[in-house]
Structure 1
Amino acid sequence: MSVELVTSSTPELVEAMERLIPQLSRTAPALTAQQCADLVAQPGVFLFVFRPDADAPTGAASQAGPSAQGAGTAAGAAAPILGMLTLATFTIPTGLRAWVEDVVVDGQARGRGAGQALVEAAVAHATSIGARTVDLTSRPSREAANRLYRRAGFELRETNVYRYKQS
């Protein structure tokens, strides 16, 4: 398996977004090709993608089912994108901070280390660019995700999270 830092948008990335975003959010629409390009081009925003081993005969790619069709592997081609994570970084008066957002792994590939690999890659990248902290939020009902974040070294903070919704 591998985790890659995306440096440019491709048709494969757009297709992966079409498959993965509905698994992440029931209300967020998939990104268009232009929106994918804009996302990847943002300074301080880093998109990581997960691919299973291309040569694994019974790996996540071959078990991903119909949702992964069209992103399959041909001889010598890379394995399909089956997960993604966005790392947003920003500088504030107390230093460079990082925030993990939109972690999603294809349903058929979950439980095989993809989420762990994505989180570890994001934390390593944040550390390498000097981020003082890496934060994230996760609903309590996402039990597997919360276990993953604890295993990756995240600690639960006692805080309140507020959201202002534009009308």
Structure 2
Amino acid sequence: MSVEVEVVREATDEVVEAVTRLLPQLSSSAGAPDHESVDRLVRSDANTLLLARAEGRAVGMLTLIMFPLPSGLRSRIEDVVVDDAARGHGVGAELTREALRLAEAAGARTVDLTSHPSRQAANRLYERLGFQSRDSQVYRFVVRP
């Protein structure tokens, strides 16, 4: 499977459809995105939305977040999802490599990500690409309106 990765610069109907189709494969609790929320994502200076295509069809996405801190430019990879039908064909690897390339080009000191332990294939991929597990606790505060 030949995979091409592109930086999404505009929330076209095709991009909104792809995000809407892929996101539920990542999270059952994430609400369905609308055009406005995808547009806000794409327009944010902190975010870079990457879209992977195979044979012209969107088969995966990844969000790279870069943010300056007093300790230097840092980055995170979030919301990596590959369509069920495209898993095991290198889509996640291509998305992640491109995110790492962009972070390095921007001067980021680190690239962090989290991955649930049950996602064994994804965790093996991240380790193959050079990510190292850290001794750290991840805390989350859920903000409710």
TM-score range relative to shorter protein: over 0.9
Q: Find 1:115's aligned residue among 89, 92, 96.
A: 92
TM-score, length of structure 2 as denominator length: 0.96
Specify the code of the residue in structure 1 equivalent to 2:105. S
Q: Who is 1:75 aligned against?
A: none
Q: Who is 1:17 aligned against?
A: 19
Return the alpha-carbon distance in structure 1 between the equivalents of residues 143 and 52 of structure 2.
33
Specify the code of the residue in structure 2 equivalent to 1:28. A
How many residues in Structure 1 have an aligned counterpart in Structure 2?
142
CA-to-partner distance for each residue in 1:15-46, whole Å, 9 max, x for gaps? Answer: 11111011010010121011111110000210
Return the alpha-carbon distance in structure 1 between the equivalents of residues 37 and 137 of structure 2.
31
Matched, 1:161 2:134: no
Pair member with larger Rg: 1
Return the alpha-carbon distance in structure 1 between the equivalents of residues 46 and 36 of structure 2.
18
Matched, 1:146 2:89: no
Return the alpha-carbon distance in structure 2 between the equivalents of residues 83 and 102 of structure 1.
10
1:17-166 aligned at under 5 Å gives the runs 17-52=19-54, 54=55, 79-166=56-143
TM-score, length of structure 1 as denominator length: 0.83
Structure 2 residue matching 1:145: 3-state secondary structure: helix
CA-to-partner distance for each residue in 1:28-65, whole Å, 9 max, x for gaps? Answer: 0121011111110000210001001x2xxxxxxxxxxx
Gaps of 5+ in 1: 55-78
Q: Who is 1:64 aligned against?
A: none
Structure 2 residue matching 1:81: 3-state secondary structure: strand
Return the alpha-carbon distance in structure 1 between the equivalents of residues 23 and 32 of structure 2.
6
Q: Which moved more, 1:24-33 or 1:121-130?
A: 24-33
Specify the code of the residue in structure 1 equivalent to 2:86. A
CA-to-partner distance for each residue in 1:85-142, whole Å, 9 max, x for gaps? Answer: 0001100000000000000000000000000000000000000000000000011111
Structure 2 residue matching 1:82: 3-state secondary structure: strand
Return the alpha-carbon distance in structure 1 between the equivalents of residues 18 and 37 of structure 2.
13
- CA distance 1:41–1:114, change in 2 (3 Å): same
